[in-house]
Chains A and B, each alone.
Chain A
Amino acid sequence: MADGVKPRVKVPKSAAAGEVITIKTLISHPMESGQRKDKDGNVIPRSIIHRFTCDFNGENVVDVTLESAISTNPYIEFDAKVPEAGEFKFTWYDDDGSVYEDVKAIEIG
């Protein structure tokens, strides 16, 4: 597992029904591209977050494929419409098989 991986998410605590909100996500991750070599000339194996998804009450909001040229600590911001109170679930998939998750509830008010 890559060192120091920590997901973080910023979602408003409440929204009006049908409101479009901005969601910000950031995961600390080295995103080793697989294109660099160490001092001895050996390729440093790729180790990146290759997929990010966000679901709201079980329905998919975004599903992102990340490639090796994406920089350290990938930051993803997007808008989502909130039809009802519920829960956003965020999932990051690491090359090494690790899966990182975070959950944020939102109220209608």
Chain B
Amino acid sequence: MKFWAYTALAGALAIAHAPLASAEMAEDELVINDDIEIVTKAPAPAHLGAFDEIYSGWLFRSEDTRDVQRDDFDNPGMLGVESAMEAWDSVEGTAGKACSDCHGALEDGQMVGVRAVYPKWNENAGEVWTLEQTINTCRTERMGAEAWGLNSKDMTNMSALMSYESRGIPMNVAIDGPAQETWEKGKEIYYTRYGQLELACSNCHEDHYGDWIRADHLSQGQTNAFPSYRLKDAALVSIQNRFKGCIRDTRGVPFDIGSPEFTALELYVASRGNGLSVEGPSVRN
């Protein structure tokens, strides 16, 4: 009797000590178009004390939603990518240039790997830039074209194309050197509680990933899979637009898209995913 009682107790303890996420996270592997292998689980980067392992948000979605991302034909985010492919070769602005006049045809692969290192220190500007800010500088300085809204459809499509070009390459943003100050500012924002609900990013995405919230599973809040086609919006959603939504959900007043605060936060959150494959355009609910 005593023996059985003891094993039963040990079993209960083992369940209590299991990581919160394991119960609700899929055991699955992502290969897109039967070709591109995506790393959805990786050892946590050295700077991150909270986890041993980092996970793509893909693992927290239902089987049906995960399947949509396995084939580019099924993935509605590819509509945005295709539209950006047309924009890539379209001449715009007073300089009479298209993206391809400087960066070559997409097939040349000059943009491969670019997404994985953004946000990135820009030496000329003396600050950290997101990919979107860099694209706009191309437009205004080199093409003589109008800047796109940072959260506009054209911009998000182009950002999705940059993700598409780097799919499968591990995220690898630099957090040292000149970017360090911005990274630390981002880290501070990540752990600061905002809004009436007094929630920091970490309260959900670190303490409770895998748990239910608002009839959905919380992920670790990784940015490797953005822009993401959200089925509920039927549109591609940019990283900073998602940040805005998160702060709104805390009943706080969000920072502006493109603000120094969100750029710092984007760098910090991206660094938490160093090692996961670039996955955009992804599909989420």
Contacts and interface: CB of A to CB of B under 8 A. Distances in A.
B234 interface: yes
Contact of A75 (B74, B83, B235): B74
Contacts of B235: 72
A4 B83 CA distance: 9
Interface in B82-113: 83
Contacts of A91: none
Contacts of A10: 73
B83 A71 contact: no
B76 A26 contact: yes
Interface string A5-33: 00010100000000000001010100000
A102 to B, nearest CB: 13
A75 B231 CA distance: 12
Interface in B224-273: 231, 234-235
Contacts of B79: 28, 73
Contacts of B234: 71-73
Given A71-B234, A72-B234, A73-B234, A26 B83 contact: no
Nearest to B72: A10
Interface residue tally on A, bucketed by range = 10 to 19
In terms of DSSP, what is the predominant structure of the interface of chain B?
loop
Contacts of A26: 73-74, 76
Contacts of A8: 73
Interface in B202-233: 231
In terms of DSSP, what is the predominant structure of the interface of chain A?
strand
A24 B74 contact: yes
A10 B71 CA distance: 11
Contacts of A73: 76, 79, 234
A60 to B, nearest CB: 24
A10 B33 CA distance: 13
Nearest to A10: B73
Nearest to A8: B73
A24 B73 CA distance: 8
A31 to B, nearest CB: 9
Interface string A31-60: 000000000000000000000000000000
A78 B83 CA distance: 26
Contacts of B76: 26, 72-73, 75
Contacts of B73: 8, 10, 24, 26
A71 B231 CA distance: 9
A108 to B, nearest CB: 23
A51 B204 CA distance: 44
Contacts of A4: 83
B84 to A, nearest CB: 13
Nearest to A77: B74
B203 to A, nearest CB: 32
Contacts of A72: 76, 234-235
Interface in B53-97: 73-74, 76, 79, 83
Interface of B: 73-74, 76, 79, 83, 231, 234-235
19 contacts: A4-B83, A8-B73, A10-B73, A24-B73, A24-B74, A26-B73, A26-B74, A26-B76, A28-B79, A71-B231, A71-B234, A72-B76, A72-B234, A72-B235, A73-B76, A73-B79, A73-B234, A75-B74, A75-B76
Given A71-B234, A72-B235, A75-B76, 9 more contacts: A8-B73, A10-B73, A24-B74, A26-B74, A28-B79, A71-B231, A72-B76, A73-B76, A73-B79
**Closest CB pairs A-B (n = 4):** A72-B234, A10-B73, A28-B79, A73-B76
